[in-house]
Amino acid sequence: MLVTIVSVAAAIVVYRFITNLASVNYEPGMRPLFSPLGLFGAIIPTYWWNPGLRWVWEWRNSNFRNHEYDVVSLVPILMGNPYYYTCSVDVVKQLLNNELWGENIISANDDMWKRHRRILSPALTFHTYSLVVSETIAVYREMVTAEGWQGRDTITIADVSPLPHKLALNVIARCGFGLGLPWVDPHPQKNEMSFGESLTIVSSSAIARLILPSCAYKLPIPRVRSLDRAWKTLATFMNDLVDRREAELDEHPVDNDQSEGGDIFSRLVGAMSVDEATKLALKKQEVIGNTFALMFAGRETTACALVATLGFLAIHQEHQAAAYAEIMANLPSHRDPVLEDLSKLPHLLACYHEAIRMYPGGAMLTREMAEDVSIKISRPVERTMVLKKGALMVVEMIAVHHNPHFFPDPDEFRPSRWYNVLETDIPMFGFGPRACVGKKFSHVEAMCFLSLFLRDWKLDIPLAAGETRVEYETRTMGRAGQVGMAFGCGPVALSLSRRG
């Protein structure tokens, strides 16, 4: 009996595996036991038989058969769907400029994505970006005061990561949602949790939330109960936030059909009152979902990029010196920057772009083809590949941005890659109609913060005994992985010296 059961199970596995191979046209690639996008594949560490969560970084130089294939397939043997993966900038351009690059299997379908973009885009105006500058300046000064840096000439920071994360959260909260979060969280009452604390816990516990059954939260385990409390606190806060803004808009409406105006959150909430027959109507759960996503996107991707930029500028003193000279030529220390100043810092922007290239905040984009899509590939041979309707494609962003055919010496920090490059040719924020709607928001915030930070402080690195700068870079910047829901480098220590 046991033999029969095992034989039937094996036959089912083999049949399913062969069927999945056929669905990706037998394209060469990886054949792990589990899909890295599935639950089992995600919780099991990275081994040769299971990519896990870290394979995109640990195997970045050998993926795609040493980058000699533009597209490969991943067909799990035991569990998970078959996928195509690409590491080619050219293929990404073809896909992201194609209207048939359809349903987002993580969140929204194509029509919903267009609808949300139409609602949000008018809120991203010159006024909004000017507000980002002024609020970034205000938050930076709050940080300096709250961290006790005033009057100090030298400072050692064991891990700079929390500072950009808190800054990015404060800026998106103030500019996008009208929330005046303080730099230091007020001490909540016993068994209560602040918004900032709950957001931090939620961003780092998505997988745990999926794995743990509801009964687990009743166990006397403080960490598990804290996780549950964070998710419930954030959900309650989001609901209350939407309700309060809806009441405000009842008294002072925002016209979502106007060409521009209103902050991001007001436009989202205002879409709840639009006639559902129009293309600009949103349900409350969609508003909460967008708010949640924008909070994370606006916080974690920008923060991770800032951490990497600070780390590389501390290591590569020549690039820091060039950035500082550029800042002082355009932003003398007697005045605050304004929006127009930030476009005069091309080297600093190139450093920021290069940091994002090396650690793209979104490690992958996953889509389902809405119709048959033909793409041209160059490697290993030039040919046309047809992705059938329903096929799943993953743009592996780390492999794309570490592809030596497009970025020679991809592990080298080289800001000059981005000198005089057109904005439309910078792949880290997407291409065409799929380009990131918050790209300029992120740029303005990052450039303002970096210009203030570098104008006030000279950055350096605390080397271990006998350690060289190259060894430090390998040890520190060579570690990367998921930071909350984004991708970024590991903890970065800095030594700061006040500039005269």
Quickly list DSSP for 405-474.
TTSSSTTS--GGGGTT--GGG-GGG--GGGS-TTHHHHHHHHHHHHHHHHHHEEEE--PPTT--HHHHHH
* Rg value, the chain, Cα: 24
Where would I find the H helices in 316-410? 317-330, 346-358, 397-401
Q: What's the half-sphere exposure (Cβ side, CA atoms, 13 Å) at 443?
A: 24
Neighbours of 390 (CB within 10 A): 13
Which residue type is seen at 418? Answer: W
DSSP label at 498?
E
Number of alpha carbons in the 13 Å side-chain half-sphere of residue 478:
10
**Alpha carbons 50 and 27: distance in angstroms, whole number:** 19
Q: Is 29 helix (H, G, I), strand (E, B) or coil?
A: strand
Contact 70, 31 (CB under 8 A): no
For residues 461 and 472, what is the distance between their CA atoms, to the nearest angstrom?
8
Q: Is the dihedral angle over the CA atoms 103, 104, 105, 108 positive or is it negative?
A: negative
Q: Is the peptide bond before 380 cis (omega within 30 degrees of 0)?
A: yes
Yes or no: say if 242 and 284 are a contact pair by the CB < 8 Å rule: yes
Question: What distance separates the 2 farthest-apart alpha carbons in the chain?
Answer: 84
Token pair listed for 109 = 């379908």
| Count of CB atoms situated within 10 Å of the CB of 258 | 10
448 is in an annotated binding site: no
Assess contact for 397 and 362: CB atoms under 8 A.
yes
Give the type of residue at 304.
Answer: C
Binding residues for heme: 436
Binding residues: 436
